[in-house]
Amino acid sequence: AQAIYLRNYQAPEFALDAIDLTFELDPQATKVSAEIQVRALGENRCLVLDGQDLTLLSLAIDGRPLDADEYQYQNDQLTLLNVPSAFCLSTQVEINPQANSALEGLYLSNALYCTQCEAEGFRRISFFLDRPDVLSRFTTKLIADPQHAPILLANGNPIAQGTLADGRHWVQWQDPFPKPCYLFALVAGDLVCIQDTFVTQSGRSVDLQIWVEAENQHKCAHAMRSLKAAMRWDEEVYGREYDLDIYMIVAVNDFNMGAMENKGLNIFNSACALADPQTTTDLGFQRVESVIAHEYFHNWSGNRVTCRDWFQLSLKEGFTVYRDQAFSADMNFAGVQRIEEVTMLRSAQFAEDASPTAHPVRPDHYMEINNFYTLTVYEKGAEIVRMLANLLGPQAFRQACDLYFTRFDGQAVTVEDFVACMEEISQRDLSQFMRWYHQAGTPHVQVQGQYCPQTASYRLDFQQATPDTPGQTNKQPLLIPITMGLLDAQGRPLPLKLKLASGEIQALGLQGVLELTQAQQSFEFIGLEELTEAPIPSLLRGFSAPVKLSFPYTPTQLATLMAQDTDAFNRWDAGQRLALDTLMPLIDAQVTQIDLAQDAPMLLEAYRALLTEAEHTQDQAMLASMLRLPSFAYLAEQYACIPVEAIEQVRQAMRFALARTFYPQWKALYQAQISQQAYAPEATQIAQRSLKNLCLDYLLALAAVPEYQQEVYQIALTQWRTSDNMTDARAALTLLAHAPDASWGRDPLAEFAQRWQQDALTMDQWFSIQATRPYADTLQQVQNLLQHPNFSLKNPNKVRALIGAFAQQNPLAFHQISGAGYAWLADQVIELNGFNPQIAARLVIPLTRWQRYQDTRQTLMRAQLERIQAQANLSADVYEIVTKALQ
Ligand code: BAL
Ligand code: ZN
């Protein structure tokens, strides 16, 4: 495989103005005919089209069949020599959907025909210029056996239908909006639909349809509700209206991604579309809400205005994630929503940014673009847009977005085009800001405070640095917005008077944004005459930039911030800092038991305060977040060399100590959250359940202590047996199945399987619960589960649920020092490489993080990477990742 470079981008030399497609659907021999209106844009008369694994049946120009010496089809390219300046190209090919296990192009999921064209799947369907800057008007005719495929869907509006003499039926669809071929889609099969309508702000009525297999019909209501909420939100917040008369969503079981924003015909992984209280957790409901919104929002940020090339992927993905996050914040509790986003960013994206696969938000080269649908492009990309939005302020940001959508409607553009709109509206020079798109790695910001009682002033000294990443050294300073405030020792906010370089004083009110632009920079606040001791800075409120910020807080200052700061995110983050400051020395000392009074006095007090306040709180969501210990992944992120066992041991010891010390409080708080209300996936109830299940988690920390054992077992078992929803059922089942006494989980796991064995999506949870049991012998169990009749390596959701969960969420078992976990993962990667390279390349990631572990593990992990690298027929996807990891 060859690397492709952004600097080599060249505009297309031909326009493909329209394409008229006809599919004669057949599981093993689908015929695809295309009539393409081609127009040369320059002097070049040699047209090179993409085409992969296509059996060429015929080729003609303006109706004249081509002779063999007029074209060549090799190395996935069809070359046509001496074409006219404008002509109609007719192609006919045959493809085999049933044999398509890569799930790119046209494939069968169960008995459903479906497509996935982003990024480069259309070339597996028909010859075309498979690049996002070639936009065409698509017409699609689907012909199929009505018994097997009574429903025939494609992009746009249905314009004709009929039946052929041989009994096959057909439907023709027309999409009036020119689009790149990555947004092409078709679906055919035996589907039912739930329907609704949406009246747009200008009064147009849009048919909304969600298509699923009949047994899933009862699981669509939440997706429909979410879709309508998203459509309204995009009108209200961005002024964006939907543009076709029909909007369709189809849920399929076999899908590499979460969902796909094809114009007017979104195709969803069923895990991101279907939801039902019996089988879906609150987290699952929230995921459906946000993914439905995300794909809908793409209609403008992605479809109407698309990317010039795949290096610009974050132009649509980062922006759209930012939009879906803002939507979710409006639909749920905004503070906790932000905490959850940052939790993920700091544990997973920061880890990616510090790994051999680190890359800029806009990469400058790639081998396989599928490997760049990453947390960096999506989540860090969203943080960049968030910084822009905050730098401009809501009004100017909205104006800049309006300008972007209007100016570039129907075009394929770049990150520069987007940022230029921000510059134009704000009249700011954002050239330094652009470094966020070019430089990989997480910036470190170190801050020191200098309080001077004599001058009643306080100076904050900042230093920023971004570490080297593969292929990038000498990083330049970034523009880092630091949203901040100052508190007095009692936690009261102080008015900010910033002394500017000119000597002028700028009053910022109680909160300001400091714009860091230099490697070292200081800001001085004056007018602090009322103070008797140094103020407490509350820095990076709302996580205003994706950086690692350190400040030498005392535990007392952190406790004040936790209790008093006006910013919910920083209240929580102060708790996280206090927990890190407490846990890390214990991890370094590899303690096995914790005496809270001695080892963690401030944390003890913080928990005491939170649990006292708990009796009166209205904000269960925030309380649950505050009471949760930092995750293994976040703790691991603090270490250059991750002490796997010590982190897990100390986390468990702390959980145990807190559980025992506050047992009556956990129990009372647990009971106080038990509700008689019927289940609804709405914010208040979700918050209550999350607090309840956090309490349950602490209670079950005592599962091995004789005096508590029976009681906590009964509490969990009762919840498992009596809950009317999967959130509570799964929480109880997980704790029972993860208890030290394996017999606790045995019956409940069997009951779960008995009840849900017909429900593929629900069984995925059963696989994950078992894959994450934190004991070394889990490896044997996951090996056995590979043979379970409900498991299939061909289904990406199952692979993620069992193998992915084991490798990414079970550090003790995966990193067992024998290396057996690594070898097993490598076996699975090798097997998957043979039929689904995209999923194989995802799965191998945990092995690529070998530098972060001690020598024995490094050697073992590298050995497995080398074994994978030595395989014959390694896909470009896996090759690229493994090669980077071994460099
Ligand atoms: N465009 C791929 C799926 C998504 O990000 O929406
Ligand atoms: Zn997206």
**Which ligand 1 atom minimizes the distance to the CA of 258?**
3
Same domain, yes or no, for 171 and 205?
yes
How far is Cα 285 from Cα 725, in angstroms, rounded to an integer? Answer: 12
Ligand nearest to C-alpha 255: 1
The DSSP H or E segment spanning 787 is none
In a domain, 71, yes or no: yes
Residue partners of 775: CB distance under 8 A and separation at least 6:
812, 813
Say whether 795 sits in a helix, a strand or coil: coil
Q: What residues have CB less than 8 Å from 27, skipping those under 6 apart? A: 97, 98, 108
Residue 329 shares a structural domain with residue 457: no
Expressed in angstroms and rounded, the spacing between residue 387 Cα and the centre of ligand 2 is 19
Q: Which of 116, 310, 317 for a ligand 1 pocket mutation test, highest count of atoms within 8 Å of Cβ?
A: 317
> 761 with 848, same domain?
yes
Q: Whose CA is nearest to atom 4 of ligand 1?
A: 260
Q: Which atom of ligand 1 is nearest to the CA of 294?
A: 6
**Residue ID of nearest Cα to ligand 1 atom 1:** 260
Q: Is the residue at 560 inside a domain?
A: no
567 occurs within a structural domain: no
In whole angstroms, what is the distance from residue 823 CA to residue 867 CA?
9
pLDDT of the residue at 776: 87
Please give the positions annotated as active site: 295
Cβ-in-10-Å burial (0-12, 13-18, 19+) of 155 comes to buried
For residue 119, is the peptide bond before it cis, meaning its omega torsion is within 30 degrees of 0? Answer: yes
Q: Say how many Å lie between the CA of residue 260 and the centre of ligand 1.
A: 5
> Which residues approach ligand 1 with their CB closer than 6 A?
118, 257, 259-261, 294-295, 298, 317
Residue 339's domain is classified under what CATH number? Answer: 1.10.390.10
Residues of the chain falling short of pLDDT 70: none
Residue 467 in tokens: 């570490």
DSSP 579-605: HHHHHHHHHHTT-S---HHHH-HHHHH
Ligand 2 centroid – CA 315 distance (Å): 10
Give the end of a domain, one of 438, 457, 485.
438
Same domain, 261 and 365: no
Enter the DSSP assignment of 458. Answer: E
Measured from the Cα of 378, ligand 1's closest atom is: 5
| Among 54, 28, 70, CA closest to 128 | 54
**How far does the centroid of ligand 2 lie from the alpha carbon of residue 378, in Å?**
8
Residue 159 CA to ligand 1 center (angstroms) comes to 28
**Total domain count for the chain?**
4
Spacing, Cα 857 to ligand 1 middle (Å): 35
Q: Residue 257 CA: which ligand 1 atom is closest?
A: 3
Query: Which of 378, 404, 438 marks a domain boundary?
Result: 438
431/473 same-domain check = no
Residue with the nearest Cα to atom 5 of ligand 1? 317
Q: How far apart are CA 514 and CA 534, in angstroms?
A: 19
Q: Are residues 120 and 253 in the same domain?
A: yes
Q: Could you give the CA distance from residue 441 to residue 356 in angstroms, rounded to a whole number?
A: 11
Q: Are residues 429 and 454 in the same domain?
A: no
Q: Distance between CA 260 and CA 298 in Å, rounded?
A: 9
> In this structure, are 377 and 409 located in the same domain?
yes
Looking up tokens 């214990």 gives 586
- Among candidates 53, 128, 62, which has minimal Cα distance to 90? 62
- Tell me which of 285, 318, 342 is where a domain ends: 285
Ligand 1 atom index nearest CA of 291: 6
**Residue 517 belongs to a domain with what CATH number?**
2.60.40.1840
Assigned domain for 210 exists: yes
Are 871 and 830 in contact, with CB atoms under 8 Å apart?
yes
- ipTM of predicted assembly, 2 dp: 1.00
Ligand with smallest separation from the Cα of 319: 2
Q: Which domain holds residue 497?
A: 444-545
Pick from 321, 283, 347: nearest CA to 808? 347
Is residue 333 domain-resident?
A: yes
User: What ligand is nearest to the CA atom of residue 318?
Assistant: 2
Same domain, yes or no: 207 and 100:
yes
| pLDDT for residue 134 | 99
Q: Which residues contact 454 (CB under 8 A, 6 or more apart)?
A: none
Pair 145, 224 in one domain = yes
CA–centroid distance, 31 to ligand 2, in Å, is: 30
The protein residue with its alpha carbon nearest to ligand 1, atom 2, reads 260
| Shared-domain flag, residues 799 and 838 | yes
Q: Whole-angstrom Cα distance, residue 571 to residue 559?
A: 9
The whole-number pLDDT of residue 256 equals 98
Tokens 């049933």, located at residue: 98
Determine the Cα–Cα distance for residues 805 and 811; give it in Å rounded to an integer: 10
Kind and range of the H or E run holding 351: helix 350-353
| Closest C-alpha to 371, from 835, 876, 804 | 876
341 and 280 in a common domain: no
Q: Smallest Cα–Cα separation from 279: which of 760, 768, 793? A: 760
Maximum pairwise Cα distance, the chain: 96
Closest approach atom of ligand 1 to CA 298 = 6
Ligand closest to the CA atom of residue 315: 2
Q: Write out the two tokens for 220.
A: 């669509």
Q: Does residue 346 lie within any of the structural domains?
A: yes
For the domain that residue 844 is a member of, what is the CATH number?
Answer: 1.25.50.10
